[in-house]
């Protein structure tokens, strides 16, 4: 098959997909990819077709294939992360973790992959691994309070209240009004005078 023929078959596959003829679209796109496997966006659209048919593992593989060719292809990364979330909701944490690991390996600075993977691991009580991923997220996005909040949660569950409090305080330096950070600070890690100071400050902020 010539490159022009593969392009023509790919376009026919897109037309079939737009018309909702998913099986036909899948077959045509697979033919085009077999002839020209090095086109990232073709893999990404193949993933969309598989996703539309409920083939979550197949779609994840297709999105990852696209990212192997072009790590900056946003539609492929978005698709892979959606598949990870779908697998998490379906109770397939093992497959979801695989998707997140693949996303991180292919694009290490993808904040959503790091944060979501960290939250998935924390839900499995793998808190040290979770905190490590959230620290990477904090390094990538130092102006966001979310990674420090998640680090604090993991540390608090590891019975390390002093370190957890430092993480929450770092988040409060970025977003002083976040209720989550104030609520989760481990009060037992601070001296009574400090806790009284917090209460006074809260009263001062009250309307």
Tens digit of each residue's pLDDT (9 = 90 or more) over 131-163 = 999 999 999 999 999 999 999 999 999 999 999
Taking residues 13-31, report their average pLDDT: 93
Would you report the helix, strand and coil content of the chain in percent, each value rounded to 5?
A: 80, 0, 20
CA 31/CA 36 separation, integer angstroms: 9
pLDDT of 204 above 60: no
Of 192 and 158, more confident: 158
Burial (CB < 10 A; 0-12, 13-18, 19+), residue 10, is buried
pTM of the model: 0.79
Contacts of residue 42, Cβ cutoff 8 Å, sequence gap at least 6: 10, 29, 32, 33, 36, 66
Determine the pLDDT at residue 187: 52
- Whether 61 has a pLDDT exceeding 90, the answer reads yes
Cβ atoms 96, 112 nearer than 8 A: no
Question: Cα separations (Å) of 132 from 128, 129, 163, 204?
Answer: 6, 5, 14, 36
55 CB burial (10 A radius; 0-12, 13-18, 19+): middle
Give the residue with greater pLDDT, 193 vs 2.
2
Confidence check: pLDDT of 55 > 70: yes
191: which 2 tokens? 């001296």
- Helices 40-52, 56-69: crossing angle, 10 deg rounding: 170
8 A C-beta contact, residue 171 and residue 165: no
What is the band of 194 on the pLDDT scale with cuts at 50, 70, 90? very low
Question: Quick one: pLDDT band at residue 199, thresholds 50, 70, 90?
Answer: very low
Look up tokens 């608090």; give the residue.
156
In the prediction, which pLDDT does 111 show? 92
Mean pLDDT to the nearest integer, 69-74: 90
Instruction: Map residue 64 onto helix, strand or coil.
Output: helix
pLDDT of 11: 94
């Amino acid at each position: 098959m010539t490159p022009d023929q593969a392009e023509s078959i790919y376009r026919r596959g897109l037309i079939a997909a737009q018309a909702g003829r998913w099986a036909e679209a899948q077959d045509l796109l697979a033919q085009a990819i077999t002839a020209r496997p090095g086109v990232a966006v073709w893999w990404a659209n193949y993933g969309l077709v598989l996703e539309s048919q409920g083939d979550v593992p197949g779609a994840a593989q297709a999105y990852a294939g696209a990212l192997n060719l072009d790590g900056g292809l946003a539609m492929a990364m978005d698709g892979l992360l959606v598949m990870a979330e779908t697998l998490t909701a379906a109770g397939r944490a093992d497959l979801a973790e695989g998707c997140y690991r693949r996303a991180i390996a292919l694009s290490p600075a993808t904040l959503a992959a790091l944060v979501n993977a960290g939250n998935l691991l924390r839900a499995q009580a793998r808190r040290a691994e979770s905190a490590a991923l959230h620290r990477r997220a904090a390094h990538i996005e130092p102006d966001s309070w979310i990674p420090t909040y998640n680090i604090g949660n993991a540390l608090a569950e590891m019975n390390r209240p002093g370190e957890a409090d430092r993480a929450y305080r770092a988040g409060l330096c970025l977003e002083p009004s976040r209720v989550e950070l104030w609520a989760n600070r481990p009060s037992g890690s601070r001296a009574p005078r400090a806790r009284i100071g917090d209460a006074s400050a809260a009263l001062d902020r009250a309307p």
